[in-house]
Structure 1
Amino acid sequence: MKTSPLLKVINAIGLSLLILIFATPFVWMVSTSLKTLGETLTFPPVWVPEQLMWSNFVEAWTSGPFLKYLINSIIVAVIILIIQFATMIPAAYAFARYKFKFKGFLFGITMITLMIPGQLIFLPLYLSMSSWGILDTIWALILPFGASAFGIFLLRQTFMQVPEELLEAARLDNASEWQIIRRIMIPMAKPTLITLAMFSFIAHWNDYFWPLVMTTTDTARTLPLGIAMLREVEGVSSWHIVMAGNVILVIPILIVFFIAQRHIIKAFVYNGVK
């Protein structure tokens, strides 16, 4: 059915408003990161700085041990991702392709964990980390996130779309279950895996609450915590330095998103198996 011109105009206006709503805070952050202190306090606000203050980024970076924070953030995000893949791929395969006792119950328990906010369980987790003697270490930021219920769910749905005949043919060729997972399931689930990797990376790269609870020194602190501390170092009025720090924090996320965006679309569109 042909779309009317009026509907096209309404869609264009709606999309423009959505772009404006989501893009304005980001544009303001980048603009403020390049301003002088005087321009950040000017009213009405100045959107385009008279002079681009690239030195704000240098000042933000050198105001603390930001290289250490950056390395910690990379280590935490990458190791969490590796452990999650090692746990959720076999779990999703088992839930999708095996029949075993209490399968529905166990899958239901897994899904229930999605409904529990992390703030409700941080105290018992904190006590566990304390009893293990790993507070204020990288492992205290990694171990509680070694499994992903959302990843198991999404990957299970993808594995269920693979025809059973394909797996039976592989078994007739004496392929082990691990070979089936590695040579059939993982390649066919590549868009989903890349999407889950991006979600996990962004979530733990941006995580502020858990590092705040689990760390007390710079030994294991991550970049979001370091950016938040800029307000204490520079003062509440130095928003140009704080915003420069936030731009530094956002850049890796943008890189990951632009690399993975094509696979994200594939993961959420059902194409079927031809």
Structure 2
Amino acid sequence: MRRHFPLLWLALHRRRRMLAMLAAGMVLFEALIVVVARTVPPAQLFTGTIGKTPSAFKAFSGSTGDVSLASYPGLLGAGLVHPFWIALQLTAIGSLAAAAVAADVEAGTIELLMVRPISRARLIAERAAAVVLTVLLLNAAATAAVAAGVWLSPSLHQAVPLRGVLLAGVLGCCFTWCLLGPALAISAAGRRRAQVIGATIAFGAVGFAVNFVAMAWSPAAPLRFLSPFHYYTPGDALAHAHLPWGPVAILLGVGGAGLAAAFPLLARRDLAP
């Protein structure tokens, strides 16, 4: 691998400690969500004295509204759309996407890379592969932790099929693909690491805020289609063991468009710092 894909290996090797810590943090967090679900019934956590879950909470269940947060699928889905989960994913995507091109341009090392017989297309392809492998690792860690908890708990297993856990993990991969494509395009065109990291964080944070407002406030409901979180519904996947192919196509399409744009953006730009 080092000989055939040196840029891919180097990108992962430089951030191996960060990736290990992010994966461990993902496992521990999802395990905590599972422990909470097993210890306290979700209805007792989120149902008030009136016996009804506040409508605003549906934005945190990882669902379009069909699955309540006061349920096992809703609570486990919340763990897969929690701000902590989002922060870990954005940290990985922003760090590796920034290192794809923009960081080397900022540091002035991009010219040293291109002195070797490495094409610009190969540069972005191998660096993109490093980001893809990273998000696959994080989503696999989260999925494995949830699957282990569901398998070990009869009450959870009765409400959440293991197939649903697997499909929620697949949906998580589609969601992170949607984020990493535009991040790589910004890196291919940008000159500063901060530009890429800031844009990645803004994309995730603003997307989450827009989806929350759209679900909690009915006049803003049409805005939900602008957020990637509207198409990422792990709570529904956990409850129904079904993959929504329309939203999946949109998530994959946005990510693919961003990655496709990165190649011509890098090919036509001046690499001088």
Is the TM-score greater than 0.5?
no
With CA pairs under 8 Å and 6+ residues apart, which has the higher RCO, 1 or 2? Answer: 1
Tell me which interval the TM-score lies in, with the shorter structure as reference length.
Answer: under 0.3
Larger-gyration structure (1/2): 1
